[in-house]
Amino acid sequence: MTIRYLKSSNKAAGAEAGADVADTVSVMLARIKAGGEGAARDYAQRLDGWDGDVVVSEGAVAEAVRSVPQGLKDDIAWAHENICRFAEAQLATVSEMEVELRPGLFAGQKLIPLRAAGAYVPGGRYAHIASALMTITTAKVAGVAHITACSPPKPTQGIHPAILYAMQLAGADRILAMGGVQGIAAMAGGLFGAVPADILIGPGNAYVAEAKRQMFGPVGIDMFAGPTDSMVIADASADAYTVAWDLVSQAEHGDNSPVWLVTDCEALARDVMRLVPELIAELPPVNSAAASAAWRDLGEVILCGSRGEMAGVSNRYGPEHLHVQAADLDWWAGALTCYGSLFLGAETTVSFGDKAAGPNHTLPTSGAARYTGGLSVHKFLKTVTWQRVDGEALPELARVTARISRHEGMEGHARAAELRLDGLVPKKRLAVG
């Protein structure tokens, strides 16, 4: 069967003015580099309407913590425990090692946590409590020595109290009331008393993503992140109402967040297409506007002839979130190879992963799942190698290295290798002395 699009996206409508964003960010970063904290404060005042303290004091954090209802604190702590335990389990899968490759030739790997991380926590349309937990907790478990966190403050209010609670619970060492490009630049540059970040992590809008992209190189980043995206794979056994809500729940991220349904059941597809607008209309106005635009412009419904075709479509798209609501979940787990995080069965939902289940929700977008995974403790660990040579391995290693070097035309490499033959290194040192 030919793959058919029962609903296609209008990609032109969802395209961002990338060049304008890049130019704006470039100018901002240059000005902050030249003007330091003063320039960053100026942007905070003009863009966020914030002229209060940039560094959030312990007293301000304590006050915010007192204002968070105990029930919400308990929920945040429950999610934090899951995220922490999953990160600890990830950490247990990697280890330092040493191997004797040949008699007298030793090599190994060592794990070195990064010195400092900068965690960006979005705070625009929604209060992204879970983002604070996902980024800061994972860095802390990996052993990062210093973590600076920042989030856009609301005029007169500052950072949302629940975000502050999540930041301090997860282990942030310094918190900056600053968002956008200026927040990213402040963490990277070590402004406002922060330790300059070795890596910048966390999701954000197009300007935040572009700032991280432009700073990449001297500073590491978690990934090049675009708008969040989600795919549901469903067969005739799936419930249309459940599938529709799962699509709508992800579309509410924003008007540039695509959602896709891949199915081999046309009746299910038609039911979902009928239900989605009805369910969107039930959301609060702000959520409804975002979800409506995302579904209208970027939503797709793809009808396939077999589960093999469905898996093929999914693997080509490489969705950030991939939710399977179909029979024979073991088959799907084996056939699907390109996704940020996989959700198996109707009992789970991407919302669980976004907020509280445990695996990290900072995931590759825009098809990047074809070549990379999401944020994990591994991102904060440098896996470095070392080697040591004893006498037994030295002669053959030096001769092989010299022959390969000369074949490549690299005489200096060959001579450096041959110096190690027959104990010539100490003789040469004596002669030079």
Radius of gyration for the chain, computed over Cα atoms and rounded to the nearest angstrom: 26
pLDDT of residue 386 exceeding 90: yes
Give yes or no for residue 91 having a pLDDT over 90: yes
Q: How many CB atoms lie within 10 A of CB 75?
A: 15
Summarised one tens digit per residue, pLDDT across range 400-433 is: 999 999 999 999 999 999 999 866 555 545 444 4
- Mean pLDDT for the stretch of residues 369-381: 95
Average the pLDDT over 31-55 and give the result: 96
| Catalytic (active site) residue 128 | no
Segment 227-249 mean pLDDT = 97
- Tell me the torsion sign for CA atoms 233, 237, 241, 246: negative
Name the percent of the chain lying above pLDDT 90: 90
Residue pLDDT, tens place only, 347-373: 999 999 999 999 999 999 999 999 999
Contact between 319 and 230 (Cβ < 8 Å): yes
Q: Does position 310 have pLDDT exceeding 60, yes or no?
A: yes
> What is the pTM for the complete model shown?
0.91
Strands 174-177 and 300-303: unpaired
253, 321, 323, 361: which one is catalytic? 321
Q: Residue 11's pLDDT is what?
A: 67
How much is the average pLDDT of 281-287?
96
Assign 391 a pLDDT band (cuts: 50, 70, 90): confident
pLDDT, one tens digit per residue, over 144-162 is: 999 999 999 999 889 999 9
Contact 249, 351 (CB under 8 A): yes
Mean pLDDT on 14-41: 87
The CATH topology of domain 18-222 is Rossmann fold (3.40.50)
DSSP string, 135-201: HHHHHHHHT-SEEEEEEPPBTTTBS-HHHHHHHHHHT-SEEEE--HHHHHHHHHHTGGGPPPPSEEE
CB–CB of 324/342 below 8 Å?
A: yes
Q: What is the mean pLDDT of residues 50-75?
A: 95
Q: What is the mean pLDDT of the chain?
A: 94
Q: Give the pLDDT confidence of 245-280 residue by residue, as tens digits.
A: 999 999 999 999 999 999 999 999 999 999 999 999
Cα–Cα distances (Å) from 344 to 157, 196, 296, 329, 341, in that order, read 40, 40, 27, 7, 10
Based on the residue annotation, tell me whether 160 is a catalytic residue of this protein: no
Lowest mean pLDDT among 60-74, 89-103, 123-137: 123-137
Which position among 253, 320, 323, 361 bears the catalytic label? 320
Every domain of the chain with CATH number 3.40.50.1980 lies at: 18-222, 227-374
pLDDT on residue 433: 45
Question: Is there a contact between 207 and 181 (Cβ–Cβ < 8 Å)?
Answer: yes
- Whether residue 23 is predicted with pLDDT greater than 80 in this model: the reply is yes
Query: Domain 227-374 belongs to what architecture?
Result: 3-Layer(aba) Sandwich (3.40)
DSSP 333: H
